[in-house]
Structure 1
Amino acid sequence: MLFHVRMDVKIPHDLPSAEAAEIIAREKTYSHELQRSRKWRHIWRIAGEYANYSIFDVTDNTELHEILSGLPLFKFMDIEVTPLLRHPSAIREDDT
């Protein structure tokens, strides 16, 4: 199943910078693992915001929830999830 996910990151200003840097480093490692596994198919930065749009390709809602709740920055995020279906007018076969 494909999901479009918007993630807005809101790290508290009073979080010590060393702690924030450590969390961000773990986040990067975790996201790279998911991208290599093809679970996290696409990620785009939203210009001017600490946010991204991503496409996840997972088995079901439960797997997506486990992945998202495992993000080291999860407790600092507002997340919006939209399930995606192939459009009947789509001509590409490699985007499912």
Structure 2
Amino acid sequence: MLFKVEMDISIPPGFAPDALERLKAAEKARFQELQRAGTWRHIWRVVGRYANVSIFDVESNADLHDILSTLPLYPFMTITVTPLCRHPSSLHDDDR
């Protein structure tokens, strides 16, 4: 199942800069692991915000929830999820 996932990150004022850098590094490593597995198919930055729009390919709603909750920055995220389905005019066979 494909999902569009919008993530807005809001770090609390006064959060320790060194702790934030460690979280960002862990987030990048987790993202790259999921990307290599084909789970996190696409990611785009949202201009002017600490946010992204991503496409996930997972088996179920529960799987997506479990994956998102493993992200190191998850406690600081506001997440919007939209289920997607293949458009009949798509030329891509892997849009399921």
Identity of aligned residues (%): 54
1:18 corresponds in structure 2 to 18
Q: CA deviation at 1:93?
A: 1.9
> Are the equivalent residues in 1 in contact too, given 2:3–2:56 (CA < 8 A)?
yes
Report the counterpart of residue 84 of structure 2 in structure 1: 84
Alignment match, 2:63:
63
Q: Secondary structure at the match of 2:15?
A: coil
Alpha-carbon offset, residue 13 of structure 1: 1.7
Amino acid at match of 2:74: F
Aligned to 1:8: 8
Query: Structure 2 CA distance, aligned partners of 1:92 and 1:43?
Result: 18
Separation (CA, whole Å) in 2 of partners of 1:9 and 1:64: 18
- Distance apart, 1:87 and its partner CA: 1.4
Greater shift after overlay, 60-69 or 85-94?
85-94
Structure 2 stretches lacking a partner, 5+ long: none
The superposition leaves residues 38-82 of structure 1 with CA deviations (integer Å, 9 ceiling, x where unpaired) of 000000001111000000000001110011011000000000000
Report what 1:72 is aligned to. Answer: 72
Count of residue pairs brought into register by the alignment: 96
Taking only aligned residues, the RMSD between alpha carbons, in angstroms, comes to 0.9
Paired residue secondary structure (1:71): coil
TM-score normalized by the length of structure 1: 0.95
> Alpha-carbon deviation of 1:89?
2.5
Normalised to the residue count of structure 2, the TM-score between the two structures is 0.95
1:94, 1:48 → 2: CA distance? 31
